[in-house]
Amino acid sequence: MFDLTGRVALVTGASGGIGGAIARALHQRGAKVALSGTRREALDSLAAEMGEGTAVLPCALDDAKAVAALPGQVSEALGGFDILVNNAGLTRDNLAMRMKDEDWDQVMAVNLTAAFRLSRAALKPLMKNRWGRIIGITSIVGVTGNPGQTNYAASKAGMIGFSKSLAGEVATRGITVNCVAPGFIETAMTDVLNDEQKERMLASIPAGRLGSPQDVAAACVYLASDEAGYMTGQTLHVNGGMAMI
């Protein structure tokens, strides 16, 4: 089950905690994996650690031209293109009343617009293959909302609506489009929360622990597999029971 041998995947934001875990997990299941992100050194060391069947393709996701060219670079480097994981994302938290336009715009540009552009560019090879997987890493807050994260929550909710719509467009071509919505996962992004915030979050997680990047990666392996071929337009919530949707 869940064998990805012969598949080629692209993971954006692979230099981050969740992105790195997704890349490793897909690779362990046999896929070749292209690692994209902005921090070249982190990507290089991840690729070195993973070994054969990897490619490092740094890309600034707010650069439309670079994004459009990325799927072609993946095919060139690894000989195909089957699985896209739109994982890259950033936060610029603030109360809505204090939020600057650029904080709103940047979060939308990287979290949502880049995911759309990259999916659009990836669809050509996926349609030709008559097989494809597009996986968006959204967030629990895209469904539940979270004070202080109007921009981030809107971008993640947007990704869910985008994925459902695209899933309907391409379902007849063997392409599935799904989301994974992590809850509170131990990463650099959640490290910035103070102890009081963390404790409050923990109290609301029935599983009694934070999630790990591997918990999220396992959901991606499933969605990327042949076995998940009948699963499309869905959001898998990986949150320890923090929100049951």
Q: What is the DSSP string of the chain?
A: ----TT-EEEETTTTSHHHHHHHHHHHHTT-EEEE--S-HHHHHHHHHHH-SSEEE----TT-HHHHHHHHHHHHHHHS---EEEE-------B-GGG--HHHHHHHHIIIIIHHHHHHHHHHHHHHHHT-EEEEEE--THHHH--TTBHHHHHHHHHHHHHHHHHHHHHGGGTEEEEEEEE-SB-SHHHHTS-HHHHHHHHHT-TTSS-B-HHHHHHHHHHHHSGGGTT--S-EEEESTTSS--
152 part of the active site? yes
The region of 136-144, 167-175, 182-190, 209-217 touching other proteins under the rule CB under 8 A is 167-175
Site for other proteins in 117-136 (CB under 8 A): 124, 127-128
What are residue 222's phi and psi, to 5 degrees?
-60, -50
Rounded to the nearest whole angstrom, what is the least distance from the CB of residue 175 to other proteins in the complex? 11
User: Among residues 26, 34, 46, 152, which one is catalytic?
Assistant: 152
Q: Which of 29, 39, 164, 173 is in the footprint of other proteins by CB under 8 A?
A: 173
Q: Can you tell me which of 8, 22, 166, 170 binds other proteins, judged by CB under 8 A? A: 170
Q: 125 vs 240, which CB is nearer to other proteins?
A: 125
Q: How many CB atoms lie within 10 A of CB 134?
A: 27
In whole angstroms, how close is the CB of 129 to other proteins at the nearest point? 12
Question: Segment near other proteins (CB under 8 A), from 82-90, 164-172, 178-186, 224-232?
Answer: 164-172
- Of 3 and 169, CB closest to other proteins: 169
Smallest distance from other proteins to CB 201, Å: 42
Stretch that binds other proteins, among 21-29, 168-176, 180-188, 195-203 (CB under 8 A): 168-176
Q: Pick the stretch among 37-45, 69-77, 111-119, 165-173 that binds other proteins (CB under 8 A).
A: 165-173
The answer to whether residue 194 forms part of the interface with other proteins (CB under 8 A) is no
Q: Which residues carry out catalysis?
A: 152
- Residues making contact with other proteins (CB under 8 A): 124, 127-128, 169-170, 172-173
